[in-house]
Amino acid sequence: MNISIIGTGYVGLVTGVCFAKLGNKVICVDINEKKIEMINKGVPPIYEEGLEQVLVENKNRIEATRDYRYATQNTDVTFICVGTPSEDDGSIDLKFVEEAAEEIGKQLRNKDGWHLVVVKSTVLPGTTGEVVLPLLERHSGKKAGVDFGVAMNPEFLREGIAVRDFLEPDRIVIGYYDDKSREVLRKLYSSFSCPIVETLLSAAEMIKYASNAFLATKISFINEIGNMCKKLGIDAYEVADGMGLDKRIGRAFLDSGIGWGGSCFPKDLDALISWAKRIGEESNIISSVVEVNKRQPLKMIDLLKKHVPELKGKTVGVLGLAFKPNTDDIRESRAIPVVKQLLKEKAVVKAFDPKAMENFKKMFPQIRYCSSAEETLDSDAVLILTKWEEFKKLDYTEKIVIDGRRLLEAKNTAKIYEGVCW
Ligand SMILES: NC(=O)c1ccc[n+]([C@@H]2O[C@H](COP(=O)([O-])OP(=O)(O)OC[C@H]3O[C@@H](n4cnc5c(N)ncnc54)[C@H](O)[C@@H]3O)[C@@H](O)[C@H]2O)c1
């Protein structure tokens, strides 16, 4: 198939590159000139394991442009993969989705033949049918379900293992407005062996939010249990292992620590809470999940102060800035509130991350960035905030280590070791 992808961030680029790997011709559209240039040179503008290799291997089937006209004229299906950030009050900001829908609509006006528009961005229930579809109709002067198709196909990939997740998903969800759109997406995904859920546009949208809210709930839940365990001298990981053997519960997402971050859970939960309010429904559980997550990273500072009571002038080494390993993404990373608090208490912060330092520098230019993880260890105490593989190989003997991510290598060797929930 010939596919265009609007927005070449984590989701758009991975989607485009993977569709190209599966034999489709792909045109990526972005408003960011630098990203377009890099993609056309075969260099991914983001770090994602394996992405560069797949991009290079399929270069003859993938190109990037700013030109919506070129992209829509030369493809049959367009995926909207632009960001859906939060407004200041937590509600969803749809401006990128609206801009993309408007632009696609304008191009469809002059396109002969049927075209399918698929929303892949995470949007609240009702958005595809009540915001995107009318914008497409208004700007194209054409009729949805007749002249063009509309579908909603949420993405569940995880940053860090995005390529693998895209190619081997647990399920594919297809929300469809019209039968032809369903057929085209069925065909596009026909080589995938996972279950395919076909449903209403709004149910597809809700499946994505409910999934993220549930996963975040599991983490905040085990963190709350983990905090109790810490007080009682119980290892929260043993508790999680014992719980996880129950098939109704499952072991995944029961690793306690300093909480969740990233580009999705925080904004998606905020959007769901704010939307629940708008429709006059309660979101007590989800609101508590967010509250627990706000407090959790600061447990690191409490534990640190047990061993270094006065932080002023003390050097604190921070290992890990990305919101999780194998990504350069620092959006809502738990390192942000921790570093903020350290600076507030006038500690000297020296940090290292294998991939995320450039991004972190933009937010915290005032801290010291080390050229290696070893250099970070030369501090009064060390905080482990991201579980990067290479941190396992460090020599923690003689160190005070406060661990937010359960690095057993540090636990077994440090002079003083405190795990946040164990
Ligand atoms: N990142 C994830 O792990 C993940 C996983 C599942 C779903 N999602 C959802 O996917 C969507 C995209 O997320 P992301 O992390 O890839 O975002 P991102 O911010 O990394 O990328 C968005 C891209 O869209 C481009 N863009 C913005 N407006 C545009 C326009 N009008 N035309 C063309 N390009 C435009 C931006 O320049 C940027 O490159 C969001 O709704 C997000 O919630 C993200």
Q: Whose CA is nearest to atom 15 of ligand 1?
A: 10
Nearest to 142, CA basis, from 160, 117, 163, 168: 117
Q: Which residues, including other chains, have CB under 8 Å from residue 158's CB and lie 6 or more apart?
A: 165
Residue 97 CA: nearest ligand 1 atom is 31
Decide if 353 contacts 370 (C-beta within 8 A).
no
263 vs 286, which has greater pLDDT? 286
Give ∠ CA 67-69-74 in degrees, rounded to 5.
Answer: 105
pLDDT in tens, 406-419: 999 999 999 999 99
pLDDT in tens, 373-392: 999 999 999 999 999 999 99
Residue 347 DSSP code: P
Residue 132 DSSP code: I
Distance, in Å, from the CA atom of 353 to the CA atom of 128, rounded to the nearest integer, reads: 38
pLDDT in tens, 49-107: 999 999 999 999 999 999 999 999 999 999 999 999 999 999 999 999 999 999 999 99
Decide if 339 contacts 368 (C-beta within 8 A).
no
pLDDT in tens, 282-298: 999 999 999 999 999 99
Answer left, alpha or beta for residue 398, where phi above 0 means left and psi between -120 and 50 means alpha.
Answer: left
Per-residue tokens: 387: 């579980």
For the chain, the average pLDDT equals: 97
Amino acid at 150: V
| Distance linking the first and last C-alpha atoms of the chain | 51
pLDDT at 13: 98
Ligand 1 is surrounded, with C-beta below 6 A, by 6-12, 29-32, 35, 81-84, 96, 99-100, 121-122, 155, 157, 159, 263-264
Give ∠ CA 59-64-67 in degrees, rounded to 5.
Answer: 150
pLDDT at 363: 98
Decide if 360 contacts 320 (C-beta within 8 A).
no
Nearest to 332, CA basis, from 322, 318, 317, 345: 322
Distance 131 CA to ligand 1 centre (A): 18
H or E element in which residue 21 lies: helix 10-21
pLDDT in tens, 93-147: 999 999 999 999 999 999 999 999 999 999 999 999 999 999 999 999 999 999 9
Per-residue tokens: 371: 């050229």
H or E element in which residue 164 lies: helix 162-167
**Length, in residues, of the chain:** 422
Q: Whose CA is nearest to atom 20 of ligand 1?
A: 9
Residue 299 binned pLDDT confidence (cut-offs 50, 70, 90): very high
Q: Which residues, including other chains, have CB under 8 Å from residue 248's CB and lie 6 or more apart?
A: none
Q: What is the mean pLDDT of residues 204-222?
A: 98
Distance, in Å, from the CA atom of 336 to the CA atom of 323, rounded to the nearest integer, reads: 9
Percent of the chain topping pLDDT 70: 100
Residue whose tokens read 């102060």:
305
pLDDT at 373: 98
pLDDT at 6: 98
Give ∠ CA 317-319-321 in degrees, rounded to 5.
Answer: 115
Distance, in Å, from the CA atom of 179 to the CA atom of 150, rounded to the nearest integer, reads: 10
Answer left, alpha or beta for residue 75, where phi above 0 means left and psi between -120 and 50 means alpha.
Answer: beta
Pocket test for ligand 1, best of 11, 31, 34, 270 (most atoms within 8 A of CB): 11
**Beta strands at 115-119 and 148-152: parallel, antiparallel or unpaired:** parallel
Residue 123 CA: nearest ligand 1 atom is 41
Q: What is the mean pLDDT of residues 302-317?
A: 98
Amino acid at 143: K
Distance 191 CA to ligand 1 centre (A): 25
Distance 318 CA to ligand 1 centre (A): 29
pLDDT in tens, 327-359: 999 999 999 999 999 999 999 999 999 999 999
Q: What is the mean pLDDT of residues 179-188?
A: 98
Q: Is residue 229 flagged as an active site residue?
A: no
Distance 101 CA to ligand 1 centre (A): 14
**Helical H segments across 233-369, by residue range:** 236-244, 265-278, 284-295, 299-307, 335-344, 357-363
Distance, in Å, from the CA atom of 223 to the CA atom of 236, rounded to the nearest integer, reads: 9
Residues of 144-155 as b/e, b for ≥16 C-beta within 10 angstroms? beebbbbbbbbb
Answer left, alpha or beta for residue 175, where phi above 0 means left and psi between -120 and 50 means alpha.
Answer: beta
pLDDT at 111: 96
Residue 32 CA: nearest ligand 1 atom is 37
pLDDT in tens, 153-179: 999 999 889 999 999 999 999 999 999
